[in-house]
Structure 1
Amino acid sequence: MADEQSGATPDPNTGSGNTGSAGSAGLDPNIAAMLSYLLFGWIGGLVMFLTQSHPEVKFHAAQSIITFGGLTVISILLTAIPFTWVISPFLSLLGFVLWILLSIKGYNLEHFKLPVIGDYAEQMSGYQQATA
């Protein structure tokens, strides 16, 4: 049976689904979490952080903002320092590897925390880990 207000149909396998609530933008959580990383680094994270309400999506979006925003700032600062061109290829490789790894983890809705950054992302997103 469809939700009267949003027209969304619950997933018959789980009894839940995208309810079309405000801020959901009609994306499945795993797609939204993956897009947090895939859409132009920290910009995709910012878009997903502002438009999504799923806690795991908000965590991945916050982690994307901090990770790729930080890498962007570091790259810009390194251009102002002489002879740091040696570091740039390694920074680019790190960014690429993180981009692929985190996109996959986001798609699987795995709560994969990067050291230090993951803690800040949890605080930023208000993520509360469920206790069993």
Structure 2
Amino acid sequence: MQCPVCHAEVGPQNTFCTNCGNPVQGASAAPQQNPYEPVSTPAAYPPPAAASAGYAPPQGSYAPPQGSYPPPQSGYPPQGAAAGSGGLSETAAAAISYITIIPAIIFLVVDPYKKMPLVRFHSFQSIGLCVACIVVWIAMMILQFVLHFIPLIGFLFLFVGIGLDILFFIAWLMCILKASKGEWFKLPLIGGFAESQARAQ
């Protein structure tokens, strides 16, 4: 823009010519700000959106596998055949059959022991051992009665009786130990008969 008087170049923001001081027509006076007017401040930022109550889990959360593993079986498998809930095992019943003749007879007529070959074998052998002991003692009594007139024969039968007692006790003890281990321990003569009866079901 030029001054109309001196034709000097005047800036568009100037009201008067900087060269001659005359007013410049067409110059737009720059708006002056009222010193008492407070400076306008930009609008305050809007407060952040209130967070939703609670924690929102991520969308892609881990999903457990559909097919769960089967629960482990409780307890250990029984060692040897059991007679049922709270019953005796096969080896225990076989060993108990030698405690007098009564358990042996019971095991031969009561389920499920009468179907167990090991229990049947030791039950028959226990009965056979008891019968053999009775037969031997009856034979000794008869023989002692017949030979009572021989001097000192009573002392001889006394020592023989003690020896037979020890022999029968050892056989009885061996049968219990072998039966508790599940073995088919056969006594002479009696064992073969007991095995044949145990397998004949």
Give the TM-score, by structure 1 length: 0.70
Kindly state the Cα deviation for residue 16 of structure 1 after the two structures are TM-superposed.
7.5
Distance 1:59 1:16 in 2: 16
Give the alignment of 1:98-113 within 5 angstroms.
98-113=171-186
**Structure 1: gaps of 5 or more residues:** 1-10
Name the counterpart of 2:137: 75
Distance 1:59-1:79 versus aligned 2 partners, 3 A rule: same
Identity %: 29
The answer to which of 69-78 and 106-115 deviates more is 69-78
- The answer (yes or no) to whether the contact 2:80–2:91 under 8 Å persists in 1 is no
Name the counterpart of 1:55: 117
Kindly state the Cα deviation for residue 56 of structure 1 after the two structures are TM-superposed.
0.4
SS in structure 1 at match of 2:88: coil
Give the alignment of 1:24-43 within 5 angstroms.
26-37=87-98, 39-40=99-100, 42-43=101-102
Distance 1:109 1:16 in 2: 9
Name the counterpart of 1:118: 191
Q: Which has the larger radius of gyration?
A: 2
Q: Does 1:64 align with 2:126?
A: yes
Distance 1:89 1:108 in 2: 29
SS in structure 2 at match of 1:26: coil
Distance 1:30 1:55 in 2: 11
SS in structure 2 at match of 1:78: helix
Aligned amino acid, residue 18 of structure 1: A
Distance 1:110 1:92 in 2: 24
SS in structure 1 at match of 2:97: helix
Distance 1:15-1:121 versus aligned 2 partners, 3 A rule: closer
Kindly state the Cα deviation for residue 33 of structure 1 after the two structures are TM-superposed.
0.5
**Structure 2: gaps of 5 or more residues:** 1-74, 145-152
Distance 1:74-1:43 versus aligned 2 partners, 3 A rule: farther
Kindly state the Cα deviation for residue 85 of structure 1 after the two structures are TM-superposed.
3.2
Aligned alpha-carbon RMSD (Å): 2.8
Distance 1:72-1:15 versus aligned 2 partners, 3 A rule: closer
Distance 1:70 1:106 in 2: 19
Kindly state the Cα deviation for residue 14 of structure 1 after the two structures are TM-superposed.
5.6
Q: Point out the structure with the larger helix share.
A: 1
Kindly state the Cα deviation for residue 79 of structure 1 after the two structures are TM-superposed.
1.9
Kindly state the Cα deviation for residue 62 of structure 1 after the two structures are TM-superposed.
0.7
- The answer (yes or no) to whether the contact 1:33–1:61 under 8 Å persists in 2 is yes
The answer to which of 118-127 and 62-71 deviates more is 118-127
SS in structure 2 at match of 1:109: coil
Give the TM-score, by structure 2 length: 0.48
The count of residues paired between Structure 1 and Structure 2 equals: 113
